[in-house]
Amino acid sequence: MPDTVATPPGYIVVEGPIGVGKTSLVKRLAQSFAAETLLEAVEENPFLERFYNDGREAAFPTQLFFLFQRSRQLTGLRQQDLFRRALVADYMLEKDRLFAGINLDAQELDLYEQVYERLSMEAPAPDLVVYLQAPVEVLLARIQKRGRPQERRMEAAYLKRLSDAYTDFFYHYDKSPLLIINAAEINPIERERDYQLLLQQICSVRSGKHYFNPAPLLL
């Protein structure tokens, strides 16, 4: 049975760096809101394991695969008119550009940008973006805990560059209402109190930029 909550935004995107807990939160929100989910199909990218083993060699095909995949997903949803129903996603198309800026060299990035500009016009603006933040050491611990083989070589320096890029992106972001969550202490998947507090925030934001920094639960 889905949780009983106030009327949520129609199209919610949960974003943040690798390991911050996007997909787990999306799945629970979708249950609460009786919503569709739009999830990154990371396992479908045939270049991803090569990228984690040798980022420089496989970065460009990895990035292009994700760009085309995400563009197809969003275009397909628009054509099916699903955006009239509740939808919760664990990515926004703009994230692809963010990763490209970190992973590609100058010539690759120039070519990527030309492709991106042709595709990104199909992406609709979310009704709410939930941006999850956490320190690099927290991200590394969560990545290790979930134990995905392709992520076993993830380095703190890479996560730091990624986290900094996210911070800069959302500092300037103004296309949708934005809720910024300190996800270092909150555990909305395993702690019901945390989830209900977060749910209240999500259902109350309708415009502007907001911050949610819940106090740790004292035992």
Residue type, 127: D
Query: Of 90, 96, 127, 194, which one is the catalytic site residue?
Result: 90
> Tokens standing for 138?
């927290």
Q: Is the dihedral angle over the CA atoms 200, 130, 72, 83 positive or is it negative?
A: positive
Are the C-beta atoms of 166 and 16 separated by less than 8 Å?
A: yes
C-alpha closest to that of 74 among 2, 4, 124, 134: 124
Helix (H) or strand (E) holding 163: helix 156-172
Extract the tokens encoding 201: 């925030």
89: enclosing H helix or E strand: strand 87-89
Q: Let me know if 127 is a catalytic residue.
A: no
Rounded CA gap, 127 and 80, in Å? 18
Among all residues, which ones are annotated catalytic?
90
